[in-house]
Amino acid sequence: MSKNYTWLYNRLRSMSLPEMIFRMRQFVQKKTERSSMGWQPLVRLARLPEPILPFDPNQTPAVTFATEQPIFRHTIDINQSIDWHLDVSTGLRFPKTYAKDADVRSGRNGSAKYVWEINRLLFLPQLAVQYRQTGDRKFLTQFVAISRSWFAENPYLTGVNWYSNIEVNIRLINWFISWNILDASALAETDPDFKSFVELQWLPVIYQHCVYSHKNPSLYSSANNHLISEYAGLFIAASFWEFPESATWRAYGKSGLEREMLRQHSRNGVNREEAAEYIQFITDFFLIPYVVGERTGNPFSLAYDGHLIKVLRYIAQFLDCQGTFPRYGDEDDGRVLLLDDCHPHNNFKSLLRSGAILSRDPLFKQLSAEWGKSPRFDLKNYVLFGQAGQAIFESIPTQYDLLGSTFYEDEGHFILRKQEIDDNLGQLREIYIHADAAPLGFLSIAAHGHADALSFLMHVDGQVFLADPGTYSYQTDPEWRNYFVSTRAHNTVCIDGQNQAHQAGALLWLDHYETQTLSARTTSEFDQLSAVHNGYKHLNCRHQRTFLFDRTSDVLTLTDVVENYGKQSRLVEVMFHLGPDIQLDVTSQNTFILTHPDTTREVVLAVSPELQTEVVTGQIEPARLGWYSDGFYQLQPTTTIRAFMTIEPGQLITLTHQAMIYSISSPAIQVSNQLTHQFASLSNHLKLPIS
pLDDT per residue over 512-571, tens digit each? 999 999 999 999 999 999 999 999 999 999 999 999 999 999 999 999 999 999 999 999
| Whole-Å CA distances, 662 to 381, 431, 523, 524, 588 | 40, 11, 21, 19, 18
Given phi > 0 = left and psi -120 to 50 = alpha, else beta, which region is 470?
left
Q: pLDDT averaged over the chain?
A: 93
Q: What is the pLDDT of residue 682?
A: 43
Bond into 155 cis (ω within 30): no
User: Buried b vs exposed e over 167-195: b needs ≥16 C-beta within 10 Å?
Assistant: bbbbbbbbbbbbbbbbbbbebbeebeebb
Q: What percent of the chain has pLDDT over 70?
A: 95
Q: What is the pLDDT of residue 134?
A: 95
**Angle between helices 278-295 and 246-263 in degrees, nearest 10:** 140
- Reference 352, options 331, 328, 332, 380; nearest CA is 380
Q: What is the pLDDT of residue 475?
A: 84
Q: What is the pLDDT of residue 146?
A: 98
Let me know the angle formed at the C-alpha of 145 by 141 and 148, rounded to the nearest 5 degrees: 140
- Reference 142, options 199, 382, 134; nearest CA is 134
What's the pLDDT band for 681 if we cut at 50, 70, 90? very low
Let me know the angle formed at the C-alpha of 159 by 256 and 222, rounded to the nearest 5 degrees: 30
- Reference 168, options 183, 148, 187, 154; nearest CA is 154
Residue type, 453: A
What mean pLDDT do residues 294-301 have?
98
DSSP string over 117-141: HHHT-TTHHHHHHHHHHH--HHHHH
pLDDT of 689 > 70? The answer is: no
DSSP string over 469-485: -----SSS-HHHHHHHT
For residue 414, give the H/E element and its range. Answer: strand 413-422
Q: How much of the chain is helix, strand and coil, in % rounded to 5?
A: 40, 20, 40
Range name among 325-334, 337-346, 442-451, 454-463 with the lowest pLDDT average: 337-346
What pLDDT, in 10s, does the model give residues 218-234? 998 888 999 999 999 99
DSSP string over 221-251: GG-SHHHHHHHHHHHHHHHHS--TTHHHHHH
Q: What is the pLDDT of residue 690?
A: 39
What's the pLDDT band for 341 if we cut at 50, 70, 90? low
What pLDDT, in 10s, does the model give residues 564-603? 999 999 999 999 999 999 999 998 889 999 999 999 999 9
608, 655 contact by CB (below 8 A): yes
- Distance of alpha carbon 54 from the chain centroid: 29
3-state DSSP call for residue 398? coil
Q: What percent of the chain has pLDDT over 90?
A: 84
Please tell me the number of Cα atoms within 13 Å of 500 on its side-chain side. 34
- Reference 382, options 84, 11, 39, 53; nearest CA is 53
Sorted by where each starts, the structural domains of the chain and their CATH numbers stand as 37-216 (no CATH), 218-401 (1.50.10.100), 406-686 (2.70.98.70)
- Distance of alpha carbon 332 from the chain centroid: 7
Q: What is the pLDDT of residue 7?
A: 72
What mean pLDDT do residues 468-473 have?
96
Give burial (CB, 10 Å; 0-12/13-18/19+) of 482: middle
Classify strands 639-647 and 591-595 as parallel, antiparallel or unpaired. unpaired
pLDDT of 337 > 80? The answer is: yes
Range name among 282-291, 471-480, 557-566, 660-669 with the lowest pLDDT average: 660-669
- CA distance linking residue 358 with residue 313, whole number of Å: 12
Given phi > 0 = left and psi -120 to 50 = alpha, else beta, which region is 528?
beta
Q: What is the pLDDT of residue 548?
A: 98
Q: SS3 for 42-108, per residue?
A: CCCCCCCCCCCCCCCCCCCCCCCCCCEEEECCEEEECCCCCCCCECCCCCCECCCCEHHHCCCCCCC
- CA distance linking residue 46 with residue 438, whole number of Å: 51
Cβ partners under 8 Å of residue 150, min gap 6: 82, 84, 119, 121
450, 457 contact by CB (below 8 A): no
DSSP 199: I
Classify strands 639-647 and 636-637 as parallel, antiparallel or unpaired. unpaired
What's the pLDDT band for 140 if we cut at 50, 70, 90? very high
What mean pLDDT do residues 102-116 have?
93
Range name among 245-249, 297-301, 466-470, 676-680 with the lowest pLDDT average: 676-680
What mean pLDDT do residues 69-76 have?
92
Classify strands 493-495 and 612-617 as parallel, antiparallel or unpaired. unpaired
- Reference 140, options 106, 87, 183, 95; nearest CA is 183
- CA distance linking residue 76 with residue 109, whole number of Å: 19
Let me know the angle formed at the C-alpha of 532 by 529 and 538, rounded to the nearest 5 degrees: 165
pLDDT of 506 > 70? The answer is: yes
What pLDDT, in 10s, does the model give residues 382-405? 999 999 999 999 999 988 889 999
Classify strands 636-637 and 591-595 as parallel, antiparallel or unpaired. unpaired
- CA distance linking residue 174 with residue 285, whole number of Å: 12
What pLDDT, in 10s, does the model give residues 74-98? 999 999 999 999 999 999 999 999 9
What's the pLDDT band for 666 if we cut at 50, 70, 90? low
Higher-pLDDT residue of 162 and 345 is 162
3-state DSSP call for residue 573? strand
